[in-house]
Amino acid sequence: MKPTLVIMAAGMGSRYGGLKQLDPVGPNGETLLEYSIFDAIKAGFGKVVFVIRHDFENEFKEQVGRKFTDQIDVQYAFQSLEDLPDGFSLPEGRTKPWGTGQAVLACKDVVAEPFCVQNADDFYGAEAYQTIAAGFQALENGDSCMVGYKLKNTLSPFGSVSRGVCEIQEGYLSEVNERTEIITNDSGTVQYIENGAVTDMTGEEMVSMNFWGFAPEFFQTLEEKFVAFLTEKGGELKSEWYIPDIVTRMMENGETKIKVLSSDAQWFGVTYPDDRPSVVKALQAMHDAGTYPAQLWE
């Protein structure tokens, strides 16, 4: 069974200042997520599901989705604040999305095969899709997987980044420590700042870039855990339900094991507007080198 690629594209990209998902950065106006789809097709994926919002559905389908409907099965799922389990209602004044956990759960009616989850505004590289496609074949029942990146390959020179730093034991994820302010100082040392304290890092640390692999049974688990999350924090106006938090709790409860599949690839994305020129340059170089054809979609 061919795996499915789930692309979370419902976020606004507040630090970037606009809809990063629709920003043309390739030499022919390609968006970053188009490279993801191209690489996934080459790795044997059979379907892509975009998680978007209804308010930019038409724009998204016209600018992005229509380009490759003849290349891969394209489906859509919609993340909505109001999409809650029976017995729950939206708190008055809540405007913030419920997080990546709800984004994935929105796909439950259109995904029935092993699936990979990723961000829309990150470039992961062809190796990541090949690695996770092969990784699905080796997973035991109930297990999940992720592709991890070296921290030094995921930084921005234009500001701090937030990364999930992974602890690994015998090839499996044992813990994810969220570092919300990682910087490179003037001397080139990677550091994270927490509660005013500065701690040096090596840059070799393995980090999660939200590139996960799950079995379809994961949706049932998500449904149960969304109810638990809403029971505990559903009344808060800014609480969010994140995939790393979900899998961490599952590991702690012995509900799953997360196989860590490593990548030496250079990740890049557009966290800040100043990141954009370097992304454009890098993509042009890959086209010039033949890594990608002159036109992604003939």
Cα–Cα distance for residue pair 205/149, rounded to 1 Å = 8
Q: How many CB atoms lie within 10 A of CB 247?
A: 24
Q: Which CATH number do you get for residue 263?
A: 3.90.550.10
Structural domain containing residue 283: 4-288
- Report d(CA 26, CA 34) in Å as an integer: 9
Residue 123 inside a domain? The answer is yes
Would you place residue 178 in the very low, low, confident or very high pLDDT band (cuts 50, 70, 90)? confident
Residues 6+ apart with CB under 8 A from 243: 100, 101, 104, 117, 210, 212
Residue 118 has pLDDT above 90, yes or no: yes
Q: Is residue 294 part of a domain?
A: no
What is the structure's pLDDT at 200?
96
In a domain, 272, yes or no: yes
Percent of the chain surpassing pLDDT 90: 66
Q: Would you say residue 295 lies in a domain? A: no
Q: What is the mean pLDDT of residues 262-273?
A: 84
Contact 159, 193 (CB under 8 A): no
Specify if 117 maps to a domain. yes
Tell me the angle at which helices 32-42 and 126-138 cross, rounded to the nearest 10 degrees.
50
- Judge residue 157's burial from the number of C-beta atoms within 10 Å of its C-beta, 0-12 exposed, 13-18 middle, 19 or more buried: exposed
Tens of pLDDT, residue by residue over 81-94, are 999 999 999 999 99
Q: pLDDT tens across 42-63, in order?
A: 999 999 999 998 888 888 888 8
Which CA distances in Å does 207 have to 55, 61, 236?
33, 32, 29
12 pLDDT higher than 70: no
Distance between CA atoms of residues 13 and 158, nearest Å: 16
Rounded to an integer, the average pLDDT of 242-259 is 89
* Residue 298 within any structural domain of the chain: no
pLDDT at residue number 254: 87
Q: Is the pLDDT of residue 102 over 90?
A: yes
Give per-residue pLDDT as tens, 22-40. Answer: 788 999 999 899 999 999 9
SS3 265: coil
Q: What is the pLDDT of residue 269?
A: 83
Provide the 3-class DSSP secondary structure of residue 143: coil
Residue 271 inside a domain? The answer is yes
pLDDT at 19: 64
Q: How confident is the model at residue 115 (pLDDT cuts 50, 70, 90)?
A: very high
What DSSP designation does 152 have?
Answer: G
Q: In this predicted structure, what is the pLDDT of residue 18?
A: 55
Q: Across residues 180-190, what is the average pLDDT? A: 93
Residues 6+ apart with CB under 8 A from 288: none
Q: Band of the pLDDT at 272, cuts 50, 70, 90?
A: confident
In a domain, 9, yes or no: yes
Cα within 13 Å of Cα(129), Cβ side: 25
| pLDDT at residue 20 in the model | 63
Top-confidence residue, 59 or 172: 172
What's the whole-number average pLDDT of the chain? 90
Count how many domains the chain has: 1
Q: Is the pLDDT of residue 211 over 70?
A: yes
**Can you tell me the distance from the alpha carbon of 77 to that of 120, in angstroms, rounded to the nearest whole number?**
14
Per residue in 128-144, pLDDT tens? 999 999 998 877 777 89
- Residue 202, judged by CB atoms within 10 A of its CB (0-12, 13-18, 19+), counts as exposed
Across the range 148-159, mean pLDDT stands at: 92
| Cα–Cα dist 43/185, whole Å | 37
Binning pLDDT at 50, 70 and 90, where does residue 295 land? very high
Per-residue pLDDT, 16: 46
Mean pLDDT of 105-120: 95
**Closest among 271, 50, 44, 253 to 154, alpha carbons compared:** 271
Please report the pLDDT score of residue 70 as a whole number.
92
As a whole number of angstroms, the distance between CA 43 and CA 126 comes to 8
Give me the pLDDT at residue 278, please: 92
Report which of residues 273 and 3 the model is more confident about: 3
User: CA-CA distance, 60 to 41, in Å (whole number)?
Assistant: 20
| Beta strand spans in 47-205 (E) | 47-52, 73-78, 115-119, 122-123, 144-150, 161-169, 172-184, 190-194, 197-201
